[in-house]
Copies of this chain bind each other. A is one copy, B any other.
Amino acid sequence: MKDVAEAAGVALKTVSRVVNGEPGVRPATAERVREAIARLGYRRNESARMLRSGRTSTIGLVIEDVADPFYSGLSRAVEDAAIRHGCLLLTGSSGEDPARERELVLAFCNRRVDGLIVVPAGDDHAYLRPELEAGVPAVFVDRPPGPGLDADTVLCDNAGGAALAVRHLLAGGHRRIAFLGDSPAIYTATERLRGYRETLGELFDERLVAMHPPTPESVRADLERMLALEDPPTALFTGNGRITVTVLRAMCGRWLPLVGFDDFELADLLSPGVTVVAQDPVGMGRMAADLLFRRIAGDRGPAEHVRLPVRLVVRGSVAR
């Protein structure tokens, strides 16, 4: 900027004014400055600007894995909102590792992001308290933060969705409904288990429940074990998109009526189509971003807790 000022024969501050479109510069001078900028290929240094102004026009997003369609949809929605507010997006995948989540969040804080959107991997967010108190707005999506942190959250109706799924299967005449869920360490997994369990009531049977991170082997083993019971399941409820797909693959050939939590591309093209409880990742991302930008704009109201509805999408997979 100093060079531009010299080239245009004006003071540093005048260049700054032109660059920022501030008033008080004669058109002829401004033109001369702009010409010098173009000639020298000058670009404003945002680091310095941030340092001075305190705003980075950047928000941080921590998700579980960008490559997972659920999170990449959410991610895109957040990005769109960021662009609308003139912000850029720093993205990081925690891979369900609380330590990694913490590192990412703190790295974002070091860069003084204007706000954070976090899909928490762990359930201890004490490390975030100083940041929140320092005024960094944060919104938690898909899962609530650890205890003792009263921050904005955007969740979906996990238990209600599970209830929808189970009731649909019950209505189909099933009494032995297995649940294959993700690790109980994951909030959404236990919530969905809760909805499943409460809806089943006394039909609940612990032997029909399996919960851990899905691998083809573990899912296959779970299915084998359950199908070998003297009173095997006649239908399946799968706890997230990845598990649904893994189950579909593990079943190759055999078929059990199935409802999956979370919609996925091509669910409708499989035969039979897969009935799912559809969440709205894009809606969640948009909602979280809206909330965050309201906070960034200065909204200091009490923490908001949004719970988005889910809906049952009936396809062929439960026909008797």
Residue from the set A47, A48, A73, A131 with the largest chain B CB neighbour count within 10 Å: A47
Q: A75-B67, A245-B265 are in contact. Are A90 and B90 (CB under 8 A)?
A: yes
A43 within 8 A of B: yes
Q: Which residues of B contact A133 (CB under 8 A)?
A: 41
Which of A21-29, A105-113, A187-195, A196-204 forms part of the interface with chain B? A105-113
Tell me the A5-57 residues at the B interface (CB within 8 Å): 41, 43-48, 50-51, 56
In the bound assembly, the distance between CA atoms of A69 and B76 in angstroms comes to 12
Q: Which residues of B contact A266 (CB under 8 A)?
A: 245, 248, 264-266, 270
Work out how many copies of this chain go into the complex.
Answer: 2
How far is it, in angstroms, between the C-alpha of A67 and the C-alpha of B79 when the chains are bound?
11
Interface 1/0s, chain A 67-100, versus B by CB < 8 A?
Answer: 1110011011001000100001111110000000
A171 within 8 Å of B (CB atoms): no
Interface residues on A, range: 35 or more
In this assembly, does A66 line the interface, its C-beta being within 8 Å of a C-beta of chain B?
A: yes
A249 within 8 A of B: yes
- Write 11 A-B pairs (CB below 8 A) sorted by A numbering: A43-B106, A45-B51, A47-B48, A48-B51, A58-B90, A58-B111, A66-B75, A88-B92, A90-B90, A249-B268, A269-B270
